[in-house]
């Protein structure tokens, strides 16, 4: 099984860094990419964020490429279609749109780099906890947390059932595949209910009273890192506004 982005985030070298520090860099750069003209801001942002991701957080290049490939593919297709004008009867290439499209692509790609930096170093649960601090309602945060936990269990169960079906030739042709899928889904539901019941018992055994209180270990912010991040953001801002 290949690890999910979130699992890499858990194993990341920057896992222990406070979310605020990572978010300041990633979201800060993202805002700059959106708000400043793409040239020369976007290339600067791509270079610096990529540098931080690969050299600072030591995200392996192969992993990064794999993660960037899918959104980059979407960008390219979107960009290409924008180069054509659809007339009433024909389809024409519009060279005039080229600079606009390039700018857009650069800007969007810079955005992807920023988000990947955050996604590959910060697990979903850390982000949820931070959102909770800035005002996400408790109920939504808790339901998201439980869903996040149970999705993995549900996927495990579904994949085990799928394997079992395949072992008994349940996937031998299209028609059978469809039938097997229906059976799988129908069985998944009572199983999920069953598990929910057992989980409730398990939580009750530990004195659950409707609220998921847990201890979070907070890590101190590093003034040095915050300063460096601000300097980096400041210099991109300066360069972007001076040379555009």
The owner of tokens 């985030």 is: 9
What residues between 148 and 207 interact with another protein by CB under 8 A? 148-149, 152-153, 195, 198-199, 201-207
Nearest approach, Cβ of residue 184 and another protein (Å): 19
26 within 8 A of 48, measured Cβ to Cβ: no
For position 213 contacting another protein by CB under 8 A, the verdict is yes
Number of residues counted as binding another protein (CB under 8 A): 33
Question: Which of 163, 150, 46 minimizes the C-alpha distance to 107?
Answer: 46
> Is residue 128 within 8 Å of 136, Cβ to Cβ?
yes
125 binds another protein (CB under 8 A): yes
Residue number, 115 or 129, with CB nearest to another protein: 129
Using CB under 8 A as the binding rule, the residues of this chain from 4 to 23 that contact another protein are 7, 10, 15-16
Q: Is 33 exposed, middle or buried (0-12, 13-18, 19+ CB in 10 A)?
A: buried
Q: Which of 189, 209, 220, 223 binds another protein (CB under 8 A)?
A: 209
The rounded distance, in Å, linking the Cα atoms of 96 and 218 is: 52
Q: Which of 132, 150, 147 is nearest to 213 (CA)?
A: 132
66 belongs to the binding site for another protein (CB under 8 A) = no
For another protein, the binding residues (CB under 8 A) are: 7, 10, 15-16, 123, 125-126, 128-129, 145-146, 148-149, 152-153, 195, 198-199, 201-209, 212-217
């Amino acid at each position: 099984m290949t690890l999910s982005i979130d699992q890499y985030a858990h194993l990341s070298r920057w896992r222990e860094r406070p979310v605020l520090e990572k978010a300041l860099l990633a979201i800060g750069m993202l805002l700059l990419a959106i708000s400043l003209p793409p040239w020369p801001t976007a290339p600067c942002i791509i270079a610096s964020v990529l540098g931080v991701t690969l050299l600072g957080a030591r995200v392996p290049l192969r992993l990064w490429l794999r993660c960037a490939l899918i959104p980059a593919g979407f960008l390219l297709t979107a960009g290409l279609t924008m180069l054509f004008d659809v007339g009433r009867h024909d389809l024409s290439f519009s060279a005039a749109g080229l600079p606009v499209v390039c700018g857009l692509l650069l800007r969007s790609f810079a955005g992807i780099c920023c988000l990947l930096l955050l996604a590959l170093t910060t697990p979903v649960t850390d982000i949820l906890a931070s959102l909770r601090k800035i005002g996400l309602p408790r109920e939504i945060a808790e339901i998201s947390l439980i869903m996040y936990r149970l999705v993995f269990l549900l996927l495990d169960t579904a994949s085990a059932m799928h394997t079992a079906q395949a072992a008994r030739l349940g996937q031998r042709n299209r028609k059978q595949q469809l039938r097997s899928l229906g059976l799988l889904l129908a069985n998944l539901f009572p199983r999920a209910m069953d598990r929910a019941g057992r989980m409730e018992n398990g939580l009750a055994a530990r004195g659950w009273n409707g609220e998921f209180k847990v201890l979070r270990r907070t890590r101190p912010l590093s003034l040095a890192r915050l300063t460096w991040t601000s300097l980096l953001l400041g210099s991109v801002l300066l360069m972007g506004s001076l040379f555009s």
